[in-house]
Chains A and B, each alone.
Chain A
Amino acid sequence: MKTRMDFVEKWAAFVSTHSNEEWSRLQTELIDSQIENAQQVCLTKEQVSYIKQKQ
């Protein structure tokens, strides 16, 4: 069974063997979509502070 670490290593190998343009384009899609999703939520700073305390 593949572990999370196997995927981390596989991705790191991809980063190592592909151009900066190629891996960063894929990474940007992932990161920007997560940020855009988070922007939809519109939490207040009090709500974020409460969530952080609970973590």
Chain B
Amino acid sequence: MVKFKIINNEIIINKTITKLDQFALDVIDIIKKYTNYVIISGYVSIFFGRARATEDVDMFISEFPYEQFIKMHDEFIENGFEFTIDNPKDLYFEYLLNKTPINIWRKGFPLLRMEIKLAKKQSQKQVLLSPIHIKLDEKEILFADIESQIAYKRYIAKSEKDLEDARHLEIVFEDIDKEKIKYFKRIFEKEL
């Protein structure tokens, strides 16, 4: 028996919200006003039940204008968040546009961070454009395609933790498309 089934690119789920989920939801509430995003990597497995915590929730975003970035930065600060560095201009031009991830966390608690990267590669843009929509109570979270995450973790990242995350997703999801996993594997390998 499997648990999760994606229907029309959507899953509706009722579950207890962890402090990790709440942190992700709080960051997403602000980010989504300014740009497209998609959640990737370990938090995808954790959201769907993997029994582990993490210090980083990873996210790809679309490029968006500096003026908008400043507004987003200010909204985060007003809501009690901190960034990797204090200068928003450097954050945008030296970090984000330069393919260096930026981190956001609740002021005083940098051990739990959202790590944000600009989607630059073809595969990154692809997962950003076709996310699965997770409805959780009144909220929505956009996750990367499950097959893309299995492919990345199994064939590219390959640490013990990544292999375990991939196996968890394979077990709890119905109708995992093996051809799609192979397709993403080929794309990821091309980009290495």
Contacts and interface: CB of A to CB of B under 8 A. Distances in A.
A5 to B, nearest CB: 6
B162 to A, nearest CB: 12
A4 B161 CA distance: 10
Contacts of A5: 163-164, 167
Interface stretch (B8-16, B34-42, B88-96, B175-183): B8-16
A25 interface: yes
Interface stretch (B59-67, B103-111, B123-131, B150-158): B103-111
Contacts of A28: 16-18
Contacts, number: 93
Interface SS of B by simple majority: loop
Nearest to B106: A39
Using C-beta atoms within 8 Å of the partner chain, give the interface range for chain B.
35 or more
A14 to B, nearest CB: 8
A27 B15 CA distance: 10
Pairs of residues from A and B, 8 with the lowest C-beta to C-beta distance, nearest first: A24-B15, A12-B171, A15-B49, A34-B53, A24-B16, A48-B110, A45-B110, A31-B18
21 contacts: A4-B160, A5-B163, A5-B164, A8-B168, A12-B168, A15-B3, A15-B49, A15-B172, A16-B172, A24-B18, A27-B51, A28-B17, A31-B18, A31-B19, A31-B46, A35-B20, A35-B112, A38-B109, A39-B109, A42-B108, A43-B110
